[in-house]
Structure 1
């Protein structure tokens, strides 16, 4: 875990930015000894957001499963995908 005083962001921005990119971890900034801000590079932030979104989707599907809401079988999914691919291909030829 990388912890720096908040003044470090003003004094050593490039160093902190490089640390974020190199470690792919956030840097925690403190103010008067207490946690204040978290800084991370944009690539790490985007990865975390995508992972969070995926976890939310998986949780939602699992909650539906536990409530007894039926999902799709593999053959049903295959047919749905084939139909969608054919639809897109057909629409592309009509243009």
Structure 2
């Protein structure tokens, strides 16, 4: 169930709102005059949402690309290529 609070609680109960967003990892929806105005969430929850969004868009892009061609790659080839790229990246960072 979403947390819904008046926007004035941001000023009057900031510590409580901060505690709730960090403990629950859920956003708090703030209302102004009874209408949705803004959303407050922890940095960790925000970063997780951004990551999930990026993954979703990459998967969607891959789906569209797969529909446009019949070419397929065996998973052994894909993972081998990924492992070599990761190993190269790690060696460059060291």
TM-score by length of 2: 0.82
Deviation at 1:74, TM superposition (A): 2.0
Q: Show the counterpart of 1:14.
A: 15
Aligned length in residues: 91
1:78/1:30 CA distance change after superposition, 3 Å = closer
What whole-Å deviation, never above 9, does each CA across 1:18-47 have from its counterpart, x for those lacking one?
A: 111111110000000000000000000011
What whole-Å deviation, never above 9, does each CA across 1:53-94 have from its counterpart, x for those lacking one?
A: 0000000001111112634322322442465437975x79xx
Misfit runs of 4+, over 6 Å:
none
Distance in 2 (CA, whole Å) between partners of 1:24 and 1:87 is: 32
RMSD of aligned alpha carbons: 2.4
Distance in 1 (CA, whole Å) between partners of 2:42 and 2:89 is: 40
TM-score by length of 1: 0.81
Distance in 1 (CA, whole Å) between partners of 2:34 and 2:79 is: 56
- Greater C-alpha Rg: 1
Q: Show the counterpart of 1:53.
A: 54
1:66/1:18 CA distance change after superposition, 3 Å = same
Q: Show the counterpart of 2:28.
A: 27
Which runs of no fewer than 5 residues in structure 2 stay unpaired? none
Which runs of no fewer than 5 residues in structure 1 stay unpaired? none
